[in-house]
């Protein structure tokens, strides 16, 4: 026997209104992106026309060509891709190690350390910019610094300054700990009886079971690294090391903005995130569901 409620006119009207509002909200959210895509294919005479059209009448790839020829946007793209991938790998590895230790290992004051680390999530990121900058600049024996951290630039103007501060973020530790808690502890006990080392238990037994959480964390980390703008502007002064978000501002110069190439470059900059979500959305939803059960 099924326990379904009869479809009364009130329920039908309520559901219709609900899905209509959701559809309208989805259209409102996707409309700016569609307008950017359409504008990237418009020639200049249509782009600055008084008549507003979503789709171009005479599509052209001119703006995409100019986006990669007027500025080294391809280099900016590869820089961001490299930094995002390195950030994902380091965050997954160190975040998983820390999360496993909090979930499965026993050591003194474990809960105290974990709670102290969680308190850092309540501190706005902009508050830590200056202390982090000073630490990176004064790092001993880096960037011409002496043993006391003086005389050079430390890790500034290098890729180390980008991914070192977030190599093991608090959110990564928290997310992985929550997922490790959902896995049965008997797996680790059986592996210990068989003589497996603690790192082997983590690497061979538990980590392969964490693919949904790893995919979720990878997406969040990649998104944060790919969209980062303020911190790269602060620590990177060499134009050859700029990220894609810094490269987008290159299309505005002398109080003028090249809107066509800017729209084309913006569309290209969104492609990695779209592709990543399309391929990892199944693991993403699983990771959110599993980590929310503990």
CATH number of the domain that 119 lies in? 1.10.3720.10
Tell whether the model's pLDDT for residue 122 goes beyond 80.
yes
How large is the average pLDDT for residues 100-115? 92
How high is the pLDDT of residue 294?
A: 47
Q: Write out pLDDT tens, residues 265-274.
A: 999 999 998 8
- Please calculate the CA angle 212-217-221 and round it to the nearest 5 degrees: 150
Residue 115 and residue 250 share a domain:
yes
The average pLDDT across 93-121 equals 92
| Model pLDDT for residues 20-56, shown as the tens digit of each residue | 999 999 999 999 889 999 999 999 888 888 787 888 8
Name the residue range of residue 161's domain. Answer: 69-291
Together in a domain, 44 and 93: no
> Which residue blocks in 44-120 are alpha helix, DSSP H?
44-47, 62-69, 73-104, 110-119
Spatial separation of the C-alpha atoms in residues 107 and 79, rounded to whole Å: 40
If asked whether residues 119 and 164 sit together in one domain, one would say yes
Count the neighbouring beta carbons within 10 Å of the beta carbon of residue 60: 15
Domains of the chain: total: 2
Task: Mark whether 217 and 153 lie in a shared domain.
Answer: yes
């Amino acid at each position: 026997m099924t326990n379904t409620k009869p479809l009364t006119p009130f329920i039908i009207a309520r559901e219709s209104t609900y899905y209509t509002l959701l559809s309208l909200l989805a259209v409102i959210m996707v409309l700016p992106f569609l307008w950017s895509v359409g504008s990237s294919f418009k020639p200049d005479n249509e782009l600055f026309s008084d008549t507003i059209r979503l789709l171009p009448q005479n599509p052209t790839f001119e703006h995409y060509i100019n986006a990669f020829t007027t500025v080294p946007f391809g280099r900016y793209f590869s820089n961001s891709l490299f930094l995002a991938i390195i950030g994902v790998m380091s965050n997954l590895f160190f975040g998983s190690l820390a999360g496993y230790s909090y979930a499965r290992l026993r050591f003194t004051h474990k809960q105290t350390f974990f709670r102290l680390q969680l308190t850092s999530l309540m501190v706005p990121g902009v508050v830590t910019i200056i202390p982090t900058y000073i630490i990176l600049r004064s790092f001993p024996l880096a960037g011409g610094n002496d043993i006391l951290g003086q005389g050079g630039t430390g890790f500034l103007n290098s890729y180390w300054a980008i991914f070192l501060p977030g190599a093991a973020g608090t959110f990564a530790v928290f997310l992985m700990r929550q997922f490790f808690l959902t896995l049965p502890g008997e797996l680790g006990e059986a592996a210990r009886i068989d003589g497996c080392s603690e790192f082997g238990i983590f690497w061979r037994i538990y980590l392969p079971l964490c693919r949904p959480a790893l995919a979720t964390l990878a997406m969040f980390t990649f998104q944060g690294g790919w969209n980062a703008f303020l911190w790269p502007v602060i620590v990177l002064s060499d134009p050859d090391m700029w990220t894609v978000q810094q490269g987008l501002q290159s299309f505005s110069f002398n109080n003028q903005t090249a809107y066509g190439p800017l729209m084309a470059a913006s569309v290209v900059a969104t492609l990695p995130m779209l592709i990543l979500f399309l391929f990892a959305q199944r693991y993403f939803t699983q990771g959110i569901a599993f980590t929310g059960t503990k």
